Amino acid sequence: MKEKTARFKAVDILLLCLMVLPILVGIALKVLLIPAADGIEITGAHIFFTLKLPLWDLPITEAQVNSWLVMCSALFLCLYLTHGITAGVKTRRQGVAEWIVEKTEGLVDENMGDYFKSFGPFIAAILCLSAFSSLVTLVGLYPPTSDINIVGGWAILVFILITYYKMKCGPWHYVKSFAEPVAFLLPLNLVGEIATPVSMAFRHYGNVLSGSIIATLVAAGLQGVSHMVLAWLPGKLAEFPLLQIGLPAILSAYFDVFSGCLQAFIFAMLTMLYVAGAFSPEDYEKRKAKKKAKKAKAQ
């Protein structure tokens, strides 16, 4: 029993180390490969290197690398939470894991219905990836959600799911939906279909990026005001950033923590509403009944 307990603890420690390691790798890459900026510098993700491909070159950016690091860290967090789960005795981590599953399944059931009960893991993955991608800015890393390419990829994936569930009722049902409720709305419905992933991507990306820019500008502005107020003091005391104490941390708590988690929740909610709204259970059952009757007639 003691040997088993020691092994269990060793696996726990290993999973915790592997959970933190990707974040440490991201910090090391930033320190070693990204030159320090002089003053305020608001730019996009740093390009580490570019892969030469036949059609077009593929730049490997800071946002892409950090996104993969977040996924690795989230993976080992999930393994840690589910390590040693039993049907009998419950631990704190098992309670946390069960709470996450119950809340996610309840959210899916409330917004998507019984047909989409299996969507729980997908929605949990969206919430986890989006929230953690915004929260990495707390340790000085570039948040992947500040890159339109990352968030745009998520939106395209959601758009593929929307189209798939629209097509489950039949190709003709999908085409006919563009002319509803009246035929002359066809151009507007087509524009609305294309605008769905665009609006999802820009809403998430714009809110996270604007928060980072505002926090940076406010911190820089407070530094300048501090120098003006303390200019009468001698030596290094005049350069002390007095007004930067406290307020930037409060702004970071709002823009990085609250706003980042809020945008993750909104993106997940829009995913559930768009996918569930694209599917008509009644039309799907009618199509299944017709196919079944046709098959029985043929036999």
The predicted-structure confidence for 167-192, as pLDDT tens digits, reads as follows 888 888 788 888 777 777 788 888 88
pLDDT higher than threshold 80 for residue 121: yes
Band of residue 108 on the pLDDT scale cut at 50, 70, 90: very high
pTM of the shown model: 0.85
| One-letter amino acid of 14 | L
User: At residue 41, does pLDDT exceed 60?
Assistant: yes
CB atoms within 10 A of CB 175: 11
Overall average pLDDT of the 83-112 stretch: 87
pLDDT band at 145 (very low <50, low <70, confident <90, very high): very high
Three-state helix/strand/coil letters over 28-92: HHHHHHCCCCCCCCCCCCCEEEEECCCCCCEEEEHHHHHHHHHHHHHHHHHHHHHCCCCCCCCCH
